[in-house]
Structure 1
Amino acid sequence: MKVAKRRQAMLDAVLSGITSIEALCQHFTISEATARRDLGALSDQGLLVRTYGGAAAHIGHREPELTLEQRRTRQGDVKARLADCALGCVEDNDTVLLDGGTTTAALAARLNERRGLHVVTNNMAALPCLTQLPEGHTTVLGGDLRASSMTVYGPLAHAALARLTVDRLFLSADGVTELGLCEASPEQAWLKEAMIARAAEVYIMADATKLGRASQQHWTAFPPHWTLITDATDARIDRFKALGATVLHPTA
């Protein structure tokens, strides 16, 4: 593979979440020295940021936001596996807070397998799955509708959260890096922060393509202790463990 073509492919790989030197060497069957030279060249062009042991997408490098339908079909089988893993963390009679997103909506579709749940959500796309919770009920956070993601946000959502506490919070994000959770708007990032403050346990559901992805510019910091539910098994996991994460993997 010619150098220019390989470096473009490497940039695409970093943007898709393959961010460690080890993973890039394995992906492209190249030496560590070659990978470092390529990353250095891409960094010099301002296309990515070098990190300890790898690289990350350039902060402020934004990608077009996917439509809700595009999100639904992307990594659908993986999202179903992540939802199955997340369901194992939910017990009967829990109060569960579901963030927006198609991955959390996949979990919503499984919650009728538990009894007595109180589900709180800003995820309008998940509501059809929450109409028949056995012995349970659903609270919808008020606010302004964000049609591109079918979520609600804003002062009314924050006011409702201020009067609630939950046992378990399940979050999604456009990207998950050492900086925290990456989102397209400040309102989304702020609401996630408020959700974290009201939860006893925080779970972040992110498939392997989301890890290391910094496609947007608004951020929510991780809490001191949290759980990452992901199908990724490479060296990126160690960096999140160092940031307080317990990591859960779905079964194959």
Structure 2
Amino acid sequence: MKVARARRLDMLRHIGAGMASAEALAEQLGISLSTVRRDLAVLAREGALLRTYGGAALPGPVQPEQPLTERLGERNAQKNAIAALAADHVLDGQTVILDAGSTVGALANRLRDRKDLRVVTSGLTSLQALSGLDRIDLVSLGGTLRPISLGFTGPLAEQAMRRITADSAFLGADGVVAGRGLCEASAEQTSLKELMTAQAETIYVLATSDKLGKAASRAWAPLDRPWTLVTDADASEAQLEPFRRLGTVTILIASGA
């Protein structure tokens, strides 16, 4: 079964603009919901899009991984706002897991004045931010350091992570797609993220708005339990609506640094 060319182009254009839910597509295109779902299934089989919960996302071209040293200078206002909001959900005396990445690294800087906090991290930026502080019990997962992301991965990091549980985990990602999860450049990164979510009672994903609906990498860590998305005020309703539809995602919007 094929999708008519005109309707195919209309669907892909609307999805590319952030209108990813089947209901929104049906309304905008003036066709039935069952027709939209059938067309999405056909396009997904052809590789033209990614099926997500209740809709779809464009896969986009696989993009080269950007070095963390470059990302540290981008969207700093948004990252700091997200970090400030996320820090409100860390209490003295807790054990928290900090992923690698620039936004999670900004959160680490916000935790320097906490007391009796145990921080477990795979990120070199978080280790640098929190090292030497008597009030913080800092645990490095170790493993193999990826120079491009300044994060530790691999079997040694995973073995250490399996022996620790935490109150919460704060994760970053190259992209976040509703119903699919977190995407990264390597399977080693997503394997460790999956383990972090399994070992934490509460899950937070820290993602600037440009990461929402982005699927520029091909390694995925699914999020199959309730979690919280912390993003910035630039996120559009079209970007957020697929996450709202999941029913398992709490959305926090950081309005300022």
TM-score (norm 2): 0.78
Which deviates more, 166-175 or 69-78? 69-78
Aligned partner of 2:90 in structure 1 is 90
Q: Hey, what does 2:204 align to over in structure 1?
A: 203
Report the secondary structure of 1:129's partner residue.
helix
Q: Deviations over 1:181-211 (max 9, x none)?
A: 0110000011100111100100000111000
Equivalent position of 2:19 in the other structure:
20
Provide closer, same or farther for how the CA distance between residues 57 and 73 of structure 1 changes in structure 2, counting only shifts above 3 A: farther
Matches within 5 A, 1:137-176: 137-176=137-176
Superposition map of 1:173-184 within 5 A: 173-177=173-177, 178-184=179-185
- Unpaired runs of 5+ in structure 2? 1-8, 22-27, 30-39
In structure 2, relative to structure 1, the CA distance for the partners of 1:201 and 1:46 (3 Å cut) is: closer
Segments of 4+ in structure 1 off by > 3 A?
A: 43-55
Aligned length: 226
Q: Which amino acid aligns with 2:59?
A: H
**How far apart in 2 are the matches of 1:225 and 1:51?**
16
Instruction: Give the secondary structure class of the aligned counterpart of 2:119.
Output: strand
Partner of 2:227: 226
The equivalent residue for 2:3 is none
Q: Which residue among 243, 250, 256 is the counterpart of 1:246?
A: 250
1:54, CA displacement in angstroms?
Answer: 7.3
Tell me by how many angstroms 1:55 deviates.
5.4
Distance 2:87 2:160 in 1: 25
SS of residue matched to 2:71: helix
Q: Which SS does the other structure have where 2:237 is aligned?
A: coil
Kept after mapping to 1: 8 A contact 2:52/2:180: no
Structure-2 separation of matches of 1:165 and 1:248:
24
**The residue matched to 1:235 in structure 2 has which SS?**
helix
Aligned counterpart for 2:238 among listed residues 225, 235, 238: 235
The secondary structure found in structure 2 opposite 1:202 is strand
**Native 8 Å contact 2:124 2:150 kept in 1:** yes
Distance (whole Å) between structure 1 residues aligned to residue 50 and residue 220 of structure 2: 17
Deviates more, 1:169-178 or 1:231-240: 231-240
Determine the structure 1 residue equivalent to 2:62.
Answer: 62
Mapped partners of 2:98, 2:144: distance in 1: 17
Give per-residue Cα distances to partners, 1:73-128, cap 9 Å, x unaligned.
Answer: 12111000000000000001110100010000000111013211100001012222
CA gap of 1:52–1:225, structure 2 versus 1, over 3 A, is closer
Partner in structure 1 of residue 71 of structure 2: 71
User: What CA distance in whole angstroms lies between the structure 1 residues aligned with 2:100 and 2:65?
Assistant: 14
Question: 1:158 Cα shift?
Answer: 1.0
**Pairs within 5 Å for 1:97-136:** 97-133=97-133, 135-136=135-136
Which sections of structure 1, spanning at least 5 residues, go unmatched?
1-6, 23-31, 34-39
Please give the secondary structure, in 1, of the residue aligned with 2:254: coil
8 Å contact from structure 1 (residues 196, 223) kept in 2: no
* Structure 1 residue 223: Cα displacement: 3.3
Give yes or no for contact 2:180–2:222 (8 Å, CA) kept in 1. yes
Cα RMSD (Å): 2.9
Is 1:187 aligned to 2:191, yes or no?
no
Tell whether the 8 Å contact from 2:55 to 2:242 is kept in structure 1 after alignment: no
Q: 3-state SS of the aligned residue for 2:89?
A: coil
**SS across alignment from 1:120:** strand
Retained in 2: the 8 A contact 1:117–1:133? Answer: no
Contact 2:119 2:138 in 1 (8 A): yes
